[in-house]
């Protein structure tokens, strides 16, 4: 059975400030939990493989073939990071890529026999990690925690998307005003000098 190292549960007091509100308390707990998860993942990676690699392989294991652009959305990472990750797995002989026969613009990704074998080996270990980490919670509490986190994530993603859209709108608005000004200036000069700009 996987064991959480004692070093992963020792609080580093110098990084924490006494919270004043429930929201600040939650933020502190999330931060502390992220430290524990990072350390547990680090230990797990030394036994199996990097979390990003195992996650990508797990996605591929659920499907026969996955377009690379769909992996980008599923993994929620940058295109360059995905290409680098796929390159490492390809060099290890775990995945392969090929051009989609129906659409030459698409690249399909799939597991090799070696990739399927490594997925079977790591999935059992990672399942043990998850069971150990949340063993103190009942099934009902796990479901409640999942629901709360999914609600929080959906809210944050919606807010970030709105902010991104607003920033794009500002850039467009500035560029549009810039073009209107200079368009008017060019027309004014053209009327005065009889030239087209």
Provide mean pLDDT across the span 143-172: 86
Distance between CA atoms of residues 26 and 17, nearest Å: 12
86 versus 173: which is more confidently predicted? 86
Distance between CA atoms of residues 118 and 122, nearest Å: 6
SS3 98: strand
Spell out the CATH class of 6-137: mainly alpha
Answer whether 0.85 is exceeded by the pTM: no
Using the predicted structure, report yes or no on whether residue 182 has a pLDDT greater than 50.
no
Distance between CA atoms of residues 109 and 4, nearest Å: 34
Per the prediction, the chain carries an average pLDDT of 78
pLDDT at 65: 93
- Domain residues of the chain, as ranges? 6-137, 138-197
Local confidence band at 48 (pLDDT 50, 70, 90 cut-offs)? low
Q: How far is CA 132 from the centre of its chain?
A: 24
172 token code pair? 């467009």
Contact 145, 33 (CB under 8 A): no
75 versus 127: which is more confidently predicted? 75
156 token code pair? 């944050």
Provide mean pLDDT across the span 64-69: 92
Sequence-separated contacts (24+) of 70-76 with Cβ below 8 Å: 71/109
pLDDT digits (tens, 9 = 90+) for 79-124: 999 999 999 999 999 999 999 999 999 999 999 999 999 888 777 7
């Amino acid at each position: 059975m996987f064991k959480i190292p004692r070093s992963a549960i020792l609080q580093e007091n110098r990084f924490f400030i006494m919270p004043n509100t429930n929201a600040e308390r939650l933020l502190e707990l999330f931060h502390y939990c992220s430290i524990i998860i990072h350390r547990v993942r680090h230990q797990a990676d030394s036994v199996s493989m990097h979390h990003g690699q195992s996650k990508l392989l797990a996605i591929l294991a659920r499907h026969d073939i996955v377009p690379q652009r769909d992996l980008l959305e599923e993994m929620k990472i940058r295109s360059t990071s995905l290409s680098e990750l796929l390159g490492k797995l390809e060099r290890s002989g775990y995945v392969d890529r090929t051009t989609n026969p129906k659409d030459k613009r698409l690249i399909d990704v799939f597991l090799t026999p070696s990739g399927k074998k490594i997925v079977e080996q790591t999935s059992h270990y990672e399942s043990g990690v998850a069971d150990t980490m949340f063993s103190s919670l009942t099934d009902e509490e796990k479901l409640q925690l999942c629901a709360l986190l999914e609600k929080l994530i959906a809210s944050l993603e919606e807010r970030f998307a709105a902010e991104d859209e607003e920033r794009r709108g500002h850039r467009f608005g500035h560029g549009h005003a810039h073009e209107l000004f200079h368009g008017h200036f060019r027309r004014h000069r053209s009327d005065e000098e009889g030239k087209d700009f």
